Chains A and B, each alone.
Chain A
Amino acid sequence: MVFEEILSMFIGIFTDYTLRYVALGSAILGITSGALGCFTVLRKQSLFGDALSHAALPGIGLAYLLVGTKDSLFLMFGAAIFAWFGGIVTLAITSTTRIKQDAALGITLSVFFGLGIVFLTYLQSIGGASQGGLDRFLFGQAAALIESDVINLGILAAICFAILIIFFKEFKIATFDSSFGQSLGFPTKYVNALLTTVIVVSVVIGLHTVGVVLMVAMLIAPAAAAKQWTSSLKSMIILSAIFGGVSGIVGSMISSTSEGMSTGPVIVITITTILGISLLFSPKQGYLFQYFQKKRQYQKNFDQISTVSNEVKNGVDKKSQVN
């Protein structure tokens, strides 16, 4: 019975109009943020994504205020600009004061988010019901994705991937050894800026589907899961993109089966489950493997000790015999 249900869910992807776009949109998000999230995790900037996604909120409000349409492209543009600005402010605070990165992130995140709320409530007070759709950026509303949205998301994701492929070498060097890159003459500053831009774009894609608050999980969790299985950057990115895409599809399928289950949180729970499985079962790095390895090591040590002590004993016996 369960099997039949799952089967019908799969068929649903191809037949059900809404579900198809929801799943497709979530998959696009998962793939992009999964691939790019690898860089944030490796650069120890995991929470940077969190600050960026919160900082994007006023951009959405302001874009709506200026343009007056809910066309997703304009809103995304506004969001991207503010997210970028938020990133710059964070970097400026850490580089010009003695405030540490975490506090700087907290400042950007909360202040920009507060500003965003101010814009949204201002729109509410002047606009009536028409701006109701803006609220969905808080938690995302994958269920409301329509064809044009998905096409926009797809184009943005394609651009991200093109940049990622073209500048793969530069990104890699900037991530692992930026001073080495600088000494080779790579324009590290520009590479970093480009990388931040691409991450901003993936964050903006995510605002549509999982929303401001949960976006950070989409960046970190797939990358962290992929990291458990491989140590090469290329395969980590591919694996992480697969994890992200799968959890996007699975999450949107699960949420479609029950009423009132919002897609974003379900996707996040799915990807965290994948991470949990990876942490437990991955070969070489997983908890289980390490547990057994430790046990085997103990056994080995114990055997060795017992043989040694036997030898010593026997040796002592022999000695006493000689005497």
Chain B
Amino acid sequence: MSPTPECVLIEQRLPRVLEDDLPVGETALVVAHVESCASCAAARARFGAVRAAVQLERPRVDDFAALRARVSEQLEPRRFAFTPRAMLAAAAMLALAVGSVFVAPSVLEHADFSTILGHARAGLPALELGSNLDVDWSIPRLSDLGAAR
């Protein structure tokens, strides 16, 4: 049987059939063609033989233990690594530190803490922060402290 144009397409897919890499439908078409085409059946046998020969001639790794020991001897203790994650964490810490220096004093100066704490209390269940805690939540402003002095 002489090869048809379809045979060219089939032959190109044969290595992928051997690797189980073709979609199921396409594999079925290739298999059906190969069953009825001596030329493609021979090609499949040749590709199969090549694959088996390559697999059989896998490089030897029987000196692996010695190589592993060589690597193990050369591992240096790890110093601090400038990984992206570490850099990001360091940048975040720095931003927090800088922010607390420049922002916090002005907040402390102007904030009405009794209002802030009032909002905080309102957001919590009464049982957790309720009537048993007989505490005066109002905090004087810094400016008030200055005036008192």
A and B together in one complex: no
Interface residues of B (CB under 8 A from A): none
Interfacial residues, chain A to chain B (CB-CB below 8 A): none
